[in-house]
Amino acid sequence: MATIQKRYGKYRARIRRRGSVTLTKTFLSKSTAQAWVRKTESELERKTYLDTTEAENTNVSGVLERYQKEVLTDERQLSRELSRLRLFKRTFGSLKLADLNALHISHFQRQRLKYVKPATVRSDLSVLSVVLSYVTKDWNIPLPQGNPIRNVSISQGTKW
């Protein structure tokens, strides 16, 4: 069952279901709150709801730092990948994980190709793809559109 309350000039939508976690989200307008409730209840009914709250609240820079600390424990791995992780942090660090999409990746790719060879860009994107796959599989943080690198053409029209 869903309720929508006006609080402090905003609308809080809450969906409560027996045997399930209570879902709450705040909106600026009542119509967007109602639309979210309809969509979410429909997804819950069909069992296709994907909770992306953690991805919406996590910056890419935080994920990269956590990956560096927890996964890159081998000194050889760390020295090889550290510069790429720093590059990703500068480029995508302020974005929320849920907002990172194929447009960001392709823009990064075009800019990077101005300075390095295509093989280097492929290696860069490969590392980022591994990080994002690790996030979804091992840390169980679902991304709304999946791994965005899978939707980017690499070079000569090929895809991942």
156 — pLDDT class (breaks 50, 70, 90)? very low
* Tokens at 97, concatenated: 């994980």
* Model confidence, pTM: 0.70
CA distance linking residue 28 with residue 35, whole number of Å: 12
Taking only Cα atoms into account, the Rg of the chain, rounded to an integer number of angstroms, comes to 19
CA distance linking residue 98 with residue 80, whole number of Å: 27
CA distance linking residue 66 with residue 93, whole number of Å: 13
Assign a CATH topology to domain 55-151. Answer: DNA polymerase; domain 1 (1.10.150)
Question: Residue 12 pairs with which residues in a beta bridge?
Answer: 5, 26
Interaxial angle between packed helices 75-92 and 102-113, expressed in degrees from 0 to 180 and rounded to the nearest 10: 110
The overall average pLDDT reported for the chain is 84
Tell me the pLDDT tens digit for each residue of 61-88.
Answer: 998 999 988 888 777 767 778 889 999 9
The structural domains of the chain, with segments of one domain joined by +, span 2-49, 55-151
